Structure 1
Amino acid sequence: MGLISKIATNDGHGENSAYFDGWKAYENDPFHPTQNPNGVIQMGLAENQLCFDLIQEWIVNNPKASICTYEGVQDFQDTAIFQDYHGLPEFRKAVARFMEKVRGDRVTFDPERIVMSGGATGAHESLAFCLADPGDAFLVPTPYYPGFDRDLRWRTGVQLFPVVCESCNNFKVTKEALEEAYSKAQESNIKVKGLLINNPSNPLGTILDKETLKDILRFINEKNIHLVCDEIYAATAFSQPSFISISEVKSEVVGCNDDLVHIVYSLSKDLGFPGFRVGIIYSYNDVVVNIARKMSSFGLVSTQTQRLIASMLLDTIFVENFIAKSSMRLLQRHGLFTKGLGQVGITTLKSNAGLFIWMDLRRFLENSTFDDELKLWHIIIDKVKLNVSPGCSFHCSEPGWFRVCFANMDDATMKIALRRIRHFVYLQPNKGVEVATKKQYCRTRSKLEISLSFRRLDDFMNSPHSPMSSPMVQARN
């Protein structure tokens, strides 16, 4: 092992967490409706598969957008030859316009500030290289996406320092929590170079309101540290309140230093294109733009992909139709799933964005410990055969919370998953139907969704009023 670098062999990738172990359990025994009906259903992957029919329809109607068609093959040579790391001008323009549309045209983006990267993973690592030195830290509100440990830490030597958020205020990011985390980092002689926020939140599915965003901007300006805003779920907001980008708020904060503000974006979640590896850095800092553009040589988006994406996203009618229908379908699917959980008394954090739900299973723990959370998780993986992700893998401060994804499967698979959950709950000693006591839940539990209708789940799903009746795309099997 001494012949291999220490960076390559350290455990900073984070692959040994329960989050990735759940994926492995699915890969070893994947559910299939006919070939493996008792396999593990993948509910740990935040993928948006609800609108592929819209994408496919556009591709069929626009064959010139691809060099792999008779109509587009004449552009093969120009696409195949070398392109510099600035990216195609039409690609940068198209992404900038799409980012504006997602934000309701309330803000404009300069295509010259669009820096491409190999997915949001590459974008985060590039920003970490640009903004911090090994040993420096970014503050990150908990719970947060497990992949951040890999993206920002593994090869850069940068640390992530938790800003502890709690269920008693629905995991809201507060000024007090930010100050406390910053003070603790200083006490530990850790240099804080920035704050990383995820808006909308993964795993919470919540959005940050304008006042919280203003508080965050005031905080980073007072401390003179950078703000990295991961906004990759921007177009997944499916109900009010609407998503607000940091780009809309910064002009409202007196004395805000734009050089400290950076946005990470991608097309993996909003369009459902994780395989295309389209990541974006949008920085208001000229130096960061120039450096990040040089670094993008290590994670370019293929010219073929750029060409296709540019043509698609510059189609204004398609984009507006897609955003509207995607939001509608996410709302329907979210409603179907939370209704199904409510049938058996499972509560969830109230949310209106993302591709997942933050599910509260605290009352199923024998003891309020992370060891017991993992025991429960193993039962759900091994016996219930659902890959959901335990809160400890998201660095949650309280055991018993789980992230469950709802947009990466077809309606039939969702129905099977809900049946398995119902069967699991009914096997518990308390049958899982009584409302929890105040001691078990936070004082602000009124903001938690509790749906305890005991009408038969099958009756609801098969009703003509059910979201099941909406046109959904069959998941890949």
Structure 2
Amino acid sequence: MVSMSKIATGNGHGENSPYFDGWKAYETNPFHAIDRPDGVIQMGLAENQLCFEFIKKWLMEHPEASLCTPEGVGKFKETALFQDYHGMPEFRQAVAKFMGKVRGDRVKFDPDRVVMSGGATGAHEMVAFCLADPGEALLVPTPYYPGFDRDLRWRTGVELVPVICESSNNFQITRNALEAAYEKAEEDNLRVKGLLITNPSNPLGTIMDRDTLKSIVRFINEKNIHLIGDEIYAATVFKDPEFVSISEVIEEVECNRDLIHIVYSLSKDMGFPGFRVGIVYSYNDAVVNCARKMSSYGLVSSQTQHLIATMLNDDDFVDNFIVESKDQLSKRHKYFTWSLSQVGIGSLKSNGGLFIWMDLRKLLKEKTFDGEMDLWRVIINEVKLNVSPGSSFHCHEPGWFRVCFANMEDSTMEVALSRIRTFILKNNEAIVPLKLCRRSSLKLSLPRSLSRRMDDFMSPTGIMSPHSPLPQSPLVRART
């Protein structure tokens, strides 16, 4: 047999994990309201589909933004020809302006420090290549996005050292936890080169307050290690407190700015993962220069740059989009968490992201990660929902699950909620329903289609009405 490289034969990609297994279950049997009503509903995909009609309207009104229309074809030749890997000036200017807008224009970004990459995946790897050598380490607070094991480690050889955060303080990052992780790395003879934080957090949906960020900046400055701020969910914060960027904090805390780097993209904030628009923004000239050279391996297409630049330079569109997106996310989040609460399912209080951190600890037959995996298999195979177990996010407490709520239509969400309720009612000895919320105040902020359905969820006892027209869960027919 012909020998292959260690990358080709190894398991560094991390695909053999429950996080990716859930995706495989969905891809094998995807839900469709008519063709596959018993299929798996995708709730493991952090995708923002709630503003597509708003964006579609803009596209219809601005056909010149596309090079494949009579209005835009005049720019086809110049855009189709070779483009410098620095990126189109108008694209970098538009992205820099948008980054400032979603941070409330409290900070400005320099277009000359905007380096493009093929999505946040490529941006993270690019930063890792720039900051650390194989065998050196980055600290990462838990729970964290499973893809980091691939993005930051697989091809770079960089190690990830977990910073253990706990539910007792809502998984907040503390100075003690940072110090403990740093000391553990030293004991393991790992040289720590940086700290990666995700703000807003994936999978928690929470944001870091200003004091926490200041503490983090002081920590990395004292240790003389880099800080990578993943801020790809910056515009998904839908209620107070407002998002605070690391770019704001370094204006208030004395630090070596050569240590500060931001990863951004348009995949989450605008719902454009297919466009592969990733951004590295560094305050370090050497990192900018190196990353720009590396970007030639994962450029954003010129056609995409042209479309994005045209769209983001429309100030009215951007302002209205930010408001509309937050409004839609807020309504969906409120309705989804309220619906879960009616059958006693709690979640970590959050105000950002495209997901909730669902607490199913009461449903574990045993308070272990084996117990968590047993529950997850039931949810995947019988309830037919692809939700992601906390252990795949390196959470150190079993029973937490990430559930995405913005990647589906209202009707699909209703089916998912119906399946969850049926499952919980079958297991109601393990969990006690919470007290009903007041209907009047909640209805005011819900989409009309969902508000009209509210009464269908409620009976005098606070459980789903037996007259609800929602589809029945396949769990009812599943073997025990």
The TM-score bracket by the shorter chain reads: over 0.9
User: Which residue number in structure 1 is paired with residue 306 of structure 2?
Assistant: 307
Measured in 2, the distance between the counterparts of 1:431 and 1:224 equals 49
* Contact 2:410/2:450 (8 A) holds in 1: no
**Kindly tell me: are residues 91 and 212 of structure 1, through their superposed partners in 2, closer, same or farther at Cα, counting changes over 3 Å?**
same
Measured in 1, the distance between the counterparts of 2:306 and 2:447 equals 35
User: Which residue number in structure 2 is paired with residue 364 of structure 1?
Assistant: 363
* Contact 1:238/1:328 (8 A) holds in 2: yes
Measured in 2, the distance between the counterparts of 1:235 and 1:251 equals 21
User: Which residue number in structure 2 is paired with residue 347 of structure 1?
Assistant: 346
Residues 1:235 and 2:235 are matched in the alignment:
yes
Partner AA of 1:402 in structure 2: F
Stretch deviating more after TM superposition (399-408 or 425-434): 425-434
State which of 433, 452, 458 in structure 1 corresponds to 2:435.
452
Alpha-carbon deviation of 1:101? 0.3
* Contact 2:338/2:437 (8 A) holds in 1: no
Partner AA of 1:453 in structure 2: L
Partner AA of 1:110 in structure 2: D
The 5-angstrom pairing of residues 66-465 of structure 1 reads 66-254=66-254, 256-430=255-429, 432-434=431-433, 452-453=435-436, 465=444
Measured in 2, the distance between the counterparts of 1:257 and 1:337 equals 43
Alpha-carbon deviation of 1:367? 1.0
**Kindly tell me: are residues 388 and 159 of structure 1, through their superposed partners in 2, closer, same or farther at Cα, counting changes over 3 Å?**
same
Measured in 1, the distance between the counterparts of 2:77 and 2:408 equals 38
* Contact 1:411/1:468 (8 A) holds in 2: no
* Contact 1:344/1:452 (8 A) holds in 2: no
* RMSD between superposed Cα atoms in Å: 1.7
Measured in 2, the distance between the counterparts of 1:464 and 1:205 equals 23
Measured in 2, the distance between the counterparts of 1:146 and 1:464 equals 36
What SS does structure 1 have at the residue aligned with 2:151? helix
What SS does structure 2 have at the residue aligned with 1:350? coil
User: Which residue number in structure 1 is paired with residue 458 of structure 2?
Assistant: none
Measured in 2, the distance between the counterparts of 1:431 and 1:164 equals 28
Partner AA of 1:394 in structure 2: F
Partner AA of 2:366 in structure 1: N
What SS does structure 2 have at the residue aligned with 1:422? helix
- Paired-residue identity, %: 68
Alpha-carbon deviation of 1:471? 9.7
Measured in 1, the distance between the counterparts of 2:394 and 2:445 equals 35
Measured in 1, the distance between the counterparts of 2:430 and 2:400 equals 19
Alpha-carbon deviation of 1:2? 5.0
Measured in 1, the distance between the counterparts of 2:222 and 2:323 equals 39
User: Which residue number in structure 1 is paired with residue 446 of structure 2?
Assistant: 467
Deviations 1:140-163 (A, max 9, x none): 000000000000000000010000
Measured in 2, the distance between the counterparts of 1:404 and 1:374 equals 16
Deviations 1:296-326 (A, max 9, x none): 0000000000000000001000000000010
**Kindly tell me: are residues 112 and 49 of structure 1, through their superposed partners in 2, closer, same or farther at Cα, counting changes over 3 Å?**
same
What SS does structure 1 have at the residue aligned with 2:250? helix
* Contact 2:46/2:407 (8 A) holds in 1: yes
* Contact 1:433/1:452 (8 A) holds in 2: no
Measured in 1, the distance between the counterparts of 2:228 and 2:281 equals 10
What SS does structure 2 have at the residue aligned with 1:153? coil
Alpha-carbon deviation of 1:193? 0.3
Stretch deviating more after TM superposition (6-15 or 22-31): 6-15
* Contact 1:344/1:454 (8 A) holds in 2: no
Measured in 1, the distance between the counterparts of 2:104 and 2:290 equals 30
Deviations 1:446-476 (A, max 9, x none): xxxxx53189xxx99xx9647241699xxxx
* Contact 2:117/2:123 (8 A) holds in 1: yes
What SS does structure 2 have at the residue aligned with 1:56? helix
Measured in 1, the distance between the counterparts of 2:430 and 2:363 equals 10
Measured in 2, the distance between the counterparts of 1:2 and 1:139 equals 37
Measured in 2, the distance between the counterparts of 1:101 and 1:291 equals 27
**Kindly tell me: are residues 113 and 369 of structure 1, through their superposed partners in 2, closer, same or farther at Cα, counting changes over 3 Å?**
same
* Contact 1:132/1:158 (8 A) holds in 2: yes
Measured in 1, the distance between the counterparts of 2:435 and 2:423 equals 17
Alpha-carbon deviation of 1:8? 2.5
Deviations 1:252-308 (A, max 9, x none): 112x00000000000000000000000000000000000000000000000000000
* Contact 1:329/1:470 (8 A) holds in 2: no
Measured in 2, the distance between the counterparts of 1:394 and 1:158 equals 18
Alpha-carbon deviation of 1:93? 0.1
What SS does structure 2 have at the residue aligned with 1:155? coil
User: Which residue number in structure 2 is paired with residue 46 of structure 1?
Assistant: 46
Partner AA of 2:424 in structure 1: V
Alpha-carbon deviation of 1:65? 0.8
**Kindly tell me: are residues 91 and 36 of structure 1, through their superposed partners in 2, closer, same or farther at Cα, counting changes over 3 Å?**
same
Measured in 1, the distance between the counterparts of 2:179 and 2:430 equals 42
Partner AA of 1:164 in structure 2: I
Measured in 1, the distance between the counterparts of 2:2 and 2:178 equals 41
**Kindly tell me: are residues 226 and 454 of structure 1, through their superposed partners in 2, closer, same or farther at Cα, counting changes over 3 Å?**
closer
The 5-angstrom pairing of residues 29-68 of structure 1 reads 29-68=29-68
What SS does structure 1 have at the residue aligned with 2:201? coil
What SS does structure 2 have at the residue aligned with 1:177? helix
What SS does structure 2 have at the residue aligned with 1:398? coil
Measured in 2, the distance between the counterparts of 1:224 and 1:372 equals 41
Alpha-carbon deviation of 1:22? 0.4
User: Which residue number in structure 2 is paired with residue 440 of structure 1?
Assistant: none
Measured in 2, the distance between the counterparts of 1:383 and 1:60 equals 42
* Contact 2:362/2:430 (8 A) holds in 1: no
Alpha-carbon deviation of 1:4? 1.5
Measured in 1, the distance between the counterparts of 2:437 and 2:327 equals 26
**Kindly tell me: are residues 350 and 464 of structure 1, through their superposed partners in 2, closer, same or farther at Cα, counting changes over 3 Å?**
closer
Measured in 1, the distance between the counterparts of 2:135 and 2:192 equals 9
TM-score (normalizing by structure 2): 0.92
